Structure 1
Amino acid sequence: MPRPDRLFRLLQALRQLPAPVTAARLAEETGVSVRSIYRDIDSLRAAGAEIGGERGFGYCLVEDGTLPPQMFSRIEIEALVLGMAEVRQSGDPALAQAAASVLAKVAATLPQARQQQVVHAVSQVYRPETRYPDMPCLPAIREACWREEALVIAYRDKDDRPSQRTIWPLAVVYLEQKLMVLAWCCLRADFRMFRPDRIASTSPEGSSFRPQRVGLLRRYIASMSAA
Structure 2
Amino acid sequence: MVRSQRLLALIALLRSHRYPVSGQTLADKLEVSVRTLYRDIATLQEQGANIQGEAGVGYVLKPGFLLPPLMFTEEEIEALVLGARWVSQRTDNQLSDGAQNALNKIAAVLPIELKDMLDDTTLLIGPSKEMTTDTVDMGDVRQAIRDEKVLSIDYRDLKGKQSQRRIWPFALGYFDEVRVLVAWCELRQDIRNFRTDRIFSCELINTRYATPRHVLLKQWRATLSNKPS
- Asked if Structure 1 and Structure 2 have the same fold, meaning a TM-score greater than 0.5 normalized by the shorter chain, the answer is yes
For 1:163 and 1:137, locate their aligned partners in 2 and report how far apart those are by CA, in whole Å. 19
Distance 1:75 1:215 in 2: 34
Equivalent position amino acid for 1:206 in 2? N
Amino acid at match of 2:73: S
Matched, 1:151 2:117: no
> Could you state the TM-score of these two structures normalised by the residue count of structure 1?
0.65
Deviation, 1:79, is 1.3
Task: Please give the alpha-carbon distance, in whole angstroms, between the structure 2 residues aligned to 1:178 and 1:79.
Answer: 23
1:177, CA displacement in angstroms?
Answer: 2.9
The answer on whether the counterparts of 2:107 and 2:118 sit within 8 Å (CA) in structure 1 is yes
Single out whichever of 162-171 and 70-79 deviates more from structure 2. Answer: 70-79
Alignment of 1:10-29 (within 5 A): none
CA RMSD of aligned residues (A): 2.0
Q: Deviations over 1:170-196 (max 9, x none)?
A: 111113432100000001100100011
CA apart distance, 1:214: 2.0
1:160 Cα deviation after fit: 1.8
Q: TM-score, normalised by structure 2?
A: 0.65
Contact 1:89/1:130, CA 8 A, preserved across alignment:
no
**Within 2, Cα distance between the matches of 1:125 and 1:189?**
39
Structure-1 residue corresponding to 2:201: 201
Does 2:70 correspond to 1:70?
yes
SS at match of 2:215: helix
The 2-side partners of 1:122 and 1:88 are apart by 16
Residue 131 (structure 1) shift: 3.6
* SS, match of residue 71 in structure 2: coil
Aligned position for 2:168 = 168
- Aligned twin of 1:117: 117
Show structure 1 runs of 4+ deviating over 4 A. none
Larger C-alpha radius of gyration, 1 or 2? 2
Shift of 1:140: 1.6
> Hey, what does 2:217 align to over in structure 1?
217
Alpha-carbon spacing, 1:99–1:210, altered in 2? closer, same or farther (3 Å): farther
User: Gaps (5+ residues) in structure 1?
Assistant: 1-67
Query: Distance between the aligned counterparts of 1:122 and 1:97, measured in 2?
Result: 21
Q: 1:78 to 1:212 in 2, by over 3 A?
A: closer
Which residue does 1:13 correspond to in 2?
A: none
Following the alignment from structure 2 to structure 1, what is the Cα–Cα distance between the partners of residues 88 and 174?
A: 13
Contact 1:89 1:131 in 2 (8 A): no
1:19 matched residue in structure 2: none
Q: Deviations 1:78-105 (Å, cap 9, x if unpaired)?
A: 1111111111111111111111111111
Shift in Å, 1:132: 4.6
Corresponding residue pairs, total: 161
1:177 matched residue in structure 2: 177
Q: Pick closer, same or farther for the CA change 1:128–1:225 going to 2, 3 Å.
A: closer
Alignment match, 1:142:
142
1:40-119 paired onto structure 2 within 5 Å: 70-119=70-119
Counterpart of 2:133?
A: 133
Paired with 2:78 and 2:212, the residues of 1 have a C-alpha distance of 38
Task: Give the AA of the match of 2:175.
Answer: L
- 1:117-142 per-residue CA deviation (whole Å, 9 max, x = no partner) reads 21111212232654453543312211
Superposed displacement of residue 76, structure 1? 1.8
Q: Percent identity?
A: 36
